[in-house]
Amino acid sequence: MPTSTPNYATDRQTSPSHLDPTPDDYTLTPFADRCIVVAEAGAGGHGCVSFLREKYIEEGPANGGDGGSGGNVYIQAVRGETSLHKIARRRLVKAGRGKNGQGKMRGGERGSDVLITVPVGTIVREIQRHDPIQNEIDEQQRPKRSRRKQEESDMTAEIEGTGQYRKDKWLVFPGMVPSEVNRMTFPKLPPPRKSHLAALQPAAPIWLDLDKHMETPMLLAAGSMGGMGNTHFMSPFSARPKMATRGDEGMKISLQLELKILADLGLVGLPNAGKSTLLRAMSNSRARVGNWAFTTLQPNVGTVVLDDHKGRPMVSKRTRDGRLRENFTVADVPGLIEDAHLDKGLGLGFLRHVERAAVLAFVIDLSAGDAVQALKLLWKELAEYEMQRGKELNAETERRMVKYVPPHMRSAPDEALDSPDLDMSIDPLPFVPTTPISAKPWFVVATKADLPNTQENYEALQRYLTDVRTGVQPHPSGLKNAWKHNTQSIPISAINAEGVAAIPQLVMDLLEE
Ligand SMILES: Nc1nc2c(ncn2[C@@H]2O[C@H](COP(=O)(O)OP(=O)(O)OP(=O)(O)O)[C@@H](O)[C@H]2O)c(=O)[nH]1
Ligand SMILES: [Mg+2]
């Protein structure tokens, strides 16, 4: 009987490894790095009109409870999140409405809160705000002279301690006909109120850079107050007031969110250079690898664990705040091509993810022509991008200084808040001042060193980097004040995981620069 013993040696050759996978062996998680979302705080519940009724007490006093306040909207940047796609899909994040008050002095339940969780590195900017209560408060604080004539009658009524019926403010005893309502005397409308939580809201217009993991959520929009039950309107003249106030409308803020990944190391390289393979070799990432340009279409982030799997740190380094570093993160972005800064290829949209990386690694394919030329081309694109962003920053600063209008003075086109195609108008968020790209520490990863005839190319690259370090050659970006203390290159073969082990130590050293 023929026996077949599996041939492990050939099996290993034919079956793709973790580092040289078939193109369909990858994980792809949904990804979005920008979106617009409308955050709506909960409206307050209405106050209740009710009266005590018991055996032998036919016409008891008022006992309507207050409405519950609306739920709050919170935001929290958490480490586990990597993308904004969940929020991008939701578009409207709405906190619960407070419940209405009930008889027997029972107050309404509070509305439920909502939490927007975003990845660390998200920038939040307010586009529009509709805050009816703030508008009312502002209106009341305006000098009386400027108020319109129509309101004068209201004012005289106010002085006498009585007010008028307003459908949007008052609730009356159910079953009353309009003529009865007209004959009723209404007390003065209570002044607009805000929940005490409103003081914790960030100042308008909201502008947040959530660049750290947050242990507790942060309040974005506080829920509105509930209406007052009819007990509040009891007076010596009317023991059984038949009115209560409605709960306040919740405020709406439309926010633009943009994720700028905050990785420790950013991989920059031409398409097909081997960036994703390198990420796979360094971390547990399952980034897509394929022998064609633009295999990667969205950023991948991998975590390199600095441990040799024996419970002992392989590279141990303390961060500036004294914490022992156990890992660092690497962002692999789509390849850059010439003129990426003019939005060719996929480059520009993703450059913002390397903009905030602490250290840059230029991944250069030694088998694909002159490595020095490739390095210069990559630096040229980065320098152009940086200059463009610098100009935007200046323009943005100017715009904010000249045209700033407090939000309550702006005319709020409410319809726009509800319009479904807000996404069409996304402009990139302005530059967040960080270290300029050219001032970041960097090094070169010369990959595919296993291929033939790559030796000379690597030597030329090394000579060039020595010249840059010693000042014989200018920095490849052509910019002054660029970082060139210790320019060096590491030859690797990512596909065989050779030479890759030297990278973590170097990154650790550069992270402390
Ligand atoms: N021989 C050899 N081939 C490699 C090495 N690293 C990557 N490759 C191959 O190069 C091709 C491209 O690798 P990727 O990792 O997808 O390249 P990339 O830079 O991520 O490409 P884009 O995502 O398109 O920008 C794949 O076929 C890899 O198998 C290496 O060290 N040696
Ligand atoms: Mg890739």
Residue 378 pLDDT more than 50? yes
* Domain ranges within the chain, ordered by starting residue: 34-259, 265-511
* Cα(184) to centroid(ligand 2), Å: 74
Q: Please name the residue whose Cα sits nearest to atom 27 of ligand 1.
A: 291
Q: pLDDT band at residue 152, thresholds of 50, 70 and 90?
A: low
Q: What confidence score (pLDDT) does residue 481 get?
A: 81
Tokens standing for residue 89: 């899909």
| C-alpha–C-alpha distance, residues 165 and 184, integer Å | 9
| C-alpha–C-alpha distance, residues 244 and 176, integer Å | 14
Terminal alpha carbon distance of the chain: 68
Higher pLDDT residue, 398 or 214?
214
Q: Please name the residue whose Cα sits nearest to atom 13 of ligand 1.
A: 274
| C-alpha–C-alpha distance, residues 50 and 175, integer Å | 13
Q: pLDDT band at residue 228, thresholds of 50, 70 and 90?
A: very high
The domain defined by 34-259 carries CATH number 2.70.210.12: yes
Residue 400 pLDDT more than 80? no
Q: What confidence score (pLDDT) does residue 424 get?
A: 43
* Cα(290) to centroid(ligand 1), Å: 6
* Cα(25) to centroid(ligand 1), Å: 14
* Cα(494) to centroid(ligand 2), Å: 13
Q: What percent of the chain has pLDDT over 70?
A: 79
Overall average pLDDT of the 441-445 stretch: 93
* Cα(23) to centroid(ligand 1), Å: 11
Q: What confidence score (pLDDT) does residue 318 get?
A: 66
Tokens standing for residue 10: 């050939």
User: Which is the CATH superfamily of the domain at 265-511?
Assistant: P-loop containing nucleotide triphosphate hydrolases (3.40.50.300)
Ligand 1 binding pocket mutation candidate from 19, 280, 490, 495 (most atoms within 8 A of CB): 495
Q: Which residues does a 6 A CB cutoff place in the pocket of ligand 1?
A: 20, 269, 271-277, 289-291, 293-296, 334-335, 447-448, 450-451, 493-495
* Closest residue by Cα to residue 495 from 270, 285, 280, 304: 280
Q: What confidence score (pLDDT) does residue 293 get?
A: 72
* Lowest model confidence (mean pLDDT) among 146-155, 215-224, 504-513: 146-155
Residue 237 pLDDT more than 90? no
Overall average pLDDT of the 148-155 stretch: 55
Higher pLDDT residue, 128 or 160?
128
Overall average pLDDT of the 471-479 stretch: 87
Q: What confidence score (pLDDT) does residue 420 get?
A: 40
* Cα(278) to centroid(ligand 1), Å: 8
Using DSSP's 3-state secondary structure scheme, residue 457 falls into helix
Overall average pLDDT of the 365-390 stretch: 87
Considering the chain, what is the average pLDDT of its residues? 81
Ligand 1 atom with the smallest distance to the CA of 279 is 15
Q: pLDDT band at residue 319, thresholds of 50, 70 and 90?
A: low
* Cα(448) to centroid(ligand 1), Å: 8
How confident is the model over 24-65, as pLDDT tens digits? 777 777 788 889 999 999 999 999 999 998 888 888 889 999
The region, left, alpha or beta by phi > 0 then psi within -120 to 50, assigned to residue 495 is: alpha
Q: pLDDT band at residue 4, thresholds of 50, 70 and 90?
A: very low
Residue bearing tokens 């958490």: 78
* Cα(202) to centroid(ligand 2), Å: 39
CB 157 within 8 A of CB 131: no
How confident is the model over 244-254, as pLDDT tens digits? 999 999 999 99
Ligand 1 binding pocket mutation candidate from 275, 277, 351 (most atoms within 8 A of CB): 277
Overall average pLDDT of the 63-74 stretch: 95
Q: Please name the residue whose Cα sits nearest to atom 3 of ligand 1.
A: 448
Overall average pLDDT of the 273-288 stretch: 85
Ligand 1 binding pocket mutation candidate from 24, 28, 268, 295 (most atoms within 8 A of CB): 295
| C-alpha–C-alpha distance, residues 181 and 243, integer Å | 10
Q: pLDDT band at residue 401, thresholds of 50, 70 and 90?
A: very low
Ligand nearest to the CA of 274: 1
Overall average pLDDT of the 350-358 stretch: 81
Higher pLDDT residue, 241 or 313?
241
Q: What confidence score (pLDDT) does residue 418 get?
A: 43
For residue 34, list its beta bridge partners: 258
Ligand 1 atom with the smallest distance to the CA of 20 is 29
Strand order in the sheet with 252-259: 92-94, 34-40, 252-259, 122-130, 207-210
